[in-house]
């Protein structure tokens, strides 16, 4: 099972040297991949109707995933990268296809694209995309991504997209893995049908039922023998005993990836303890503490 680290995007700051040190430490310790979250804008929650639910506000900085990973790809050689997840309907599908292809090229195929629909309707509106109907748009975008990644001249027409005999170059030498964020049966069904993996951004014990459901759906489709990934995350605040227990449990159930989340933002909303990391070095040190506990 692959061990990853969630990039502490809201807390690590903006010093390129610190970001470099965190990343190269993760690679040096043997982490298999880095996962990062995506928000283009932060929105103030107060006085919203409907209520804006979610762990992030206007006070939480987010590094842009494609730009961040391009930088990280240039200062590493083995560690992989995953968006967990890019809020796809907020972005132009053809542009995401181009950005993902470029990142896969620059990283020498160390990138997988995790996508989802998100929760922040203010962000959608600010980016000029209706929040209503995002699921239908999302499905159509998946078709556009796959068509553009095929390497062929694309002639695609739907209610939402029109590509008139066009293509993107350069393309990576291997297909870009497409993973789906999911915490519902609908999202699981979509991922099993269209993707190569599922990203559950929470503890294994909370999503084991969805893993089983995905496995059953794949078996019903006759695709259970084809490669497919399952990713969960483990919060640093839970402590070493639970880390090891969760990693073992997830692997036993068929999980393929698990990511350390060493970041306090949103912990109170999720019922998690706050950790005093004490500054940038604390986030770097957390990488070693976790890896030693789960891999020895």
Domain boundaries, the chain: 2-295
CB contact set of 203 (below 8 Å; sequence gap of 6+): 232, 233, 234, 235, 238, 246
The answer to whether 197 and 182 are in contact (CB under 8 A) is: no
Q: Give me the DSSP letters along 238-251.
A: G-HHHHHHHHHHHH
Residue 2 CA to residue 13 CA, distance in Å, equals 27
Given a contact cutoff of 8 angstroms between Cβ atoms, the answer to whether 130 and 114 are in contact is: no
Q: What is the mean pLDDT of each run of 10 residues along the chain (296 residues)?
A: 98 98 98 98 96 94 98 98 98 98 98 97 97 96 98 97 98 97 92 96 94 95 92 97 96 97 94 95 98 93
For the beta carbon of residue 129, count every other beta carbon within 10 angstroms.
17
What is the predicted pLDDT for the residue at 296?
A: 80
Report the distance separating Cα 24 and Cα 216, nearest Å: 39
2-295 sits in which CATH class?
Answer: alpha beta
> What residues have CB less than 8 Å from 175, skipping those under 6 apart?
149
pLDDT at 224: 84
Cβ pair 43, 123 in contact under 8 A:
yes
Q: What is the 3-state secondary structure (H, E, C) of 129-185?
A: CCCCCHHHHHHHHHHHHHHHHCCCCEEEECCCCEEEEECCCCCCCCCCCEEEECCCH
Q: What is the pTM of this model?
A: 0.97
Helix axes 65-74, 16-28, angle to 10 degrees: 60
* Cβ proximity of 34 and 20 under 8 Å: no
Rounded (5°) CA angle 236-26-103: 115
19, 75 contact by CB (below 8 A): no
**What is the spatial distance between Cα 30 and Cα 27, in angstroms, rounded to a whole number?**
5
DSSP labels, 29-62: TT--EEEE---S-----TT-SS---SS--TT---
Query: Which residues make beta-bridge pairs with 80?
Result: 33
The whole-number pLDDT of residue 37 equals 98
What local confidence, expressed as pLDDT, does residue 148 receive? Answer: 98
So what's the pLDDT on residue 225? 85
Nearest to 193 by CA among 146, 123, 257: 146
What torsion, rounded to 10 degrees, do the Cα atoms 224, 226, 229, 230 define? 0
Q: Which residues pair with 157 in a beta bridge?
A: 162
């Amino acid at each position: 099972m692959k061990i990853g680290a969630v990039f502490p995007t809201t807390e690590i700051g903006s010093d390129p040297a610190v970001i470099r040190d965190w990343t190269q430490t993760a690679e040096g310790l043997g982490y298999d991949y880095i996962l990062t979250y995506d928000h283009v804008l932060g929105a103030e929650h107060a006085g919203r109707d409907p209520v804006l639910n979610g762990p992030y506000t206007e006070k939480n900085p987010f590094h842009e995933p494609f730009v961040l990973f391009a930088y990280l790809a240039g200062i590493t050689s083995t560690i992989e990268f995953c968006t967990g997840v890019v809020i796809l309907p907020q972005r132009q599908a053809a542009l995401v296809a181009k950005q993902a292809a470029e990142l896969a090229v620059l990283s020498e195929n160390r990138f997988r694209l995790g996508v989802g629909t998100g929760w922040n309707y203010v962000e959608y509106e600010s980016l000029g995309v209706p929040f209503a109907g995002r699921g239908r748009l999302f499905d159509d975008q998946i078709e556009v991504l796959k068509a553009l990644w095929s390497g062929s001249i694309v002639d695609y027409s739907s209610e939402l997209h029109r590509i008139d005999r066009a293509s993107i170059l350069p393309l990576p030498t291997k297909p870009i893995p497409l993973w789906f964020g999911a915490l519902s049966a609908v999202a699981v069904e979509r991922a099993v049908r269209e993707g190569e993996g599922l990203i559950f951004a929470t503890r294994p014990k909370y999503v084991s039922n969805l893993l089983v459901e995905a496995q059953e759906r794949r078996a019903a489709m006759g695709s259970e023998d084809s490669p497919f990934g399952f990713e969960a995350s483990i919060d640093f605040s839970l402590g070493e005993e639970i880390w090891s227990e969760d990693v073992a449990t997830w692997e036993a159930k068929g999980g393929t990836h698990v990511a350390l989340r060493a970041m306090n933002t949103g912990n109170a909303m999720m019922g998690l303890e706050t950790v005093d990391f004490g500054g940038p070095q604390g986030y770097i040190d957390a990488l070693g503490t976790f890896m030693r506990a789960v891999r020895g």
